[in-house]
């Protein structure tokens, strides 16, 4: 028995040594060989969400292809307890020049790590680190961190504006008598509320009543990964007279498109072009347009600017409609469902926001 145990221990130890060697060999080899800037995308979640992280990944892949970056992706999974050690490991490994990470959840980790690795660069998307350094993070004022945030309220404004215009013009076949629209958020946090606040303001700007916007949050254990609950909530919204529902809830939103098919109603996509990512033709047909929050474009632009040396570290950049970081899908399917008059009005509304003549309220 004892013999067997020690043999097993030796085997495990041997495997660890092999793994460790393998990793360090590979890393130093690739680093020496190419002088390319190495960017490491660390995801506090997983790829395959068909929107947010996939968009970030796509943008950096494009940067790798066009601009000669070397890209490495680390997925930390949905278990929050693994995020902090995951970021510490990722930052400690000397296999990158730039560490990219996103969402509000990572700002404290990056704020802690950036001062420890002053010769590395950090890109944080969709939330800023605390540059003031007053709350225990960013002891070096995060002068090696670039943050980019998005005006998702501007995207929400266009969604709400379009929704009410479609309702008033009775353009949605099968939903002509309905007056309401729904927004299904993942959780009630300021970032998600920013979409909602924008939607409501656009809906009202187009002449709709605020009380005709139904708002609900998925919540629970997996707010961005519970399509069954997403479908149930969408069922309820369509049942209460919503002509269309806009899910802002990651994979939970996939339930909305199924619900829309069953109810013979409509939906908007979010973050990525969901008309493209869905495969079922019946579900595709329900997607009027997708409100894009183009994380990928923002990261691509960061990569471009960094090569030119013009990327502003130690500060946060906020991008929106004017920078093409937020927008909507204007494809043939959209043109088929939305009459030309409304499309023109929507473009005008977008121009007003871009020029600053319309200020969209924000929840941030």
Partner 1 sequence: MSSGFDVVLSSAFLAAALRVSTPYLLAAFGGLVAERAGISNIALEGQMLAAACTGALVAGYSGSVALGALSGITVATLLGLLLAALRLELGADAIIAGIGLNLLASGATAYAVYTLLGDKGGTSGLDSGTLPTVPLPGIESIPVLGDVLSGQNLITWLAFLTAPFVAWLFYRTTFGFHLRAVGEMPDAAASVGIPVRRVQYAGLALSGALAGLAGVFLSMGYVSFFVRDMTAGRGFIALAAVFLGGLRPWGVFLAALGFGAAEALAVQLGTLDVPPQLVSTIPYAMTLVALALYAWRRKRRGVGQVAPASL
Interface residues with partner 1 (CB under 8 A)? 46-50, 75, 78, 182, 188, 211, 214-217, 219-222, 225-229, 231-233, 235-237, 239-240, 251, 254-255, 258, 278-280
* CA angle (300, 305, 310) in 5-degree steps: 160
Closest distance to partner 1 from the beta carbon of 185 (Å): 9
CA separation for the pair 108, 99 (Å, rounded): 14
Secondary structure (DSSP) of 62-117: HHHHHH--EEEEEE--S-GGGHHHHHHHHHHSSS-SEEEEESGGGHHHHHHHHHH-
Taking the least distance from each CB to partner 1, the nearer of 234 and 289 is: 234
For 267, the 3-state DSSP assignment is strand
Q: How many CB atoms lie within 10 A of CB 22?
A: 10
Q: Which residues pair with 98 in a beta bridge?
A: 39, 121
Taking the least distance from each CB to partner 1, the nearer of 43 and 138 is: 43
Length of the chain: 364
Smallest CA-to-CA distance from 288 within 150, 158, 192, 154 is with: 158
Taking the least distance from each CB to partner 1, the nearer of 82 and 359 is: 82
Exposed e or buried b per residue across 277-303, where buried means at least 16 C-beta atoms within 10 angstroms of its C-beta: bbeeeebbbbbbbbbbbbbbbbbbbbb
Closest distance to partner 1 from the beta carbon of 340 (Å): 33
Taking the least distance from each CB to partner 1, the nearer of 37 and 230 is: 230
* Residue located via tokens 């049942």: 239
Closest distance to partner 1 from the beta carbon of 83 (Å): 16
CA distances, 43 to each of 31, 83, 150, 186 (Å): 22, 9, 18, 18
Taking the least distance from each CB to partner 1, the nearer of 146 and 224 is: 224
Taking the least distance from each CB to partner 1, the nearer of 169 and 215 is: 215
Taking the least distance from each CB to partner 1, the nearer of 227 and 320 is: 227
Closest distance to partner 1 from the beta carbon of 41 (Å): 13
Closest distance to partner 1 from the beta carbon of 215 (Å): 7
Closest distance to partner 1 from the beta carbon of 235 (Å): 7
Closest distance to partner 1 from the beta carbon of 288 (Å): 19
**Helix residue spans in 150-271 (DSSP H):** 152-168, 190-205, 227-239, 254-263
């Amino acid at each position: 028995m004892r013999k067997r145990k020690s043999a097993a221990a030796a085997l495990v130890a041997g495997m660890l040594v092999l793994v460790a060697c393998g990793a360090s060999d590979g890393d130093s080899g690739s680093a020496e060989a190419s002088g390319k800037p190495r960017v490491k995308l660390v995801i506090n979640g997983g790829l395959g969400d068909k929107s947010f992280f996939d968009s970030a990944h796509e943008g950096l892949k494009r940067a790798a292809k066009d601009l000669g970056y070397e890209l490495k992706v680390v997925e930390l999974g949905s278990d929050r307890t693994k995020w902090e050690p995951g970021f510490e490991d990722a930052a400690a490994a000397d296999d990158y020049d730039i560490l990219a990470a996103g969402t509000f959840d990572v700002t404290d980790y990056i704020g802690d790590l950036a001062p420890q690795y002053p010769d590395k660069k950090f890109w944080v998307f969709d939330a800023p680190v605390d540059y003031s350094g007053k709350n225990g993070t960013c002891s070096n004022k995060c002068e090696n961190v670039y943050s980019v945030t998005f005006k998702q309220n501007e995207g929400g404004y266009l969604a709400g504006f379009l929704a009410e215009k479609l309702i008033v013009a009775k353009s949605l076949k099968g939903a002509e008598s309905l007056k309401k629209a729904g927004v299904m958020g993942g959780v009630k946090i300021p970032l998600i509320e920013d979409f909602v606040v924008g939607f409501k303001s656009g809906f009202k700007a187009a002449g709709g009543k605020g009380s005709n916007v139904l708002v609900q949050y998925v919540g629970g254990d997996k707010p961005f990964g519970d399509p069954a609950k997403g479908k149930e909530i969408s069922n309820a919204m369509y049942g209460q007279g919503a002509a269309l529902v806009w899910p802002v809830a990651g994979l939970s939103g996939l339930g909305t498109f199924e619900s829309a098919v069953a109810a013979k109603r409509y939906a908007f996509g979010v973050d990525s072009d969901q008309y493209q990512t869905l495969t079922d033709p019946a579900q595709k047909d329900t997607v009027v347009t997708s409100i894009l929050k183009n994380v990928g474009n923002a990261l691509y632009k960061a990569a471009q600017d960094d090569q030119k040396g013009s990327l502003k570290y130690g500060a946060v950049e906020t991008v929106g409609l004017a920078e093409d970081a937020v927008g909507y899908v204007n494809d043939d399917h959209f043109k088929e469902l939305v009459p030309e008059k409304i499309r023109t009005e929507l473009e005008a509304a977008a121009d007003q926001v871009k020029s600053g003549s319309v200020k969209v309220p924000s929840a941030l």
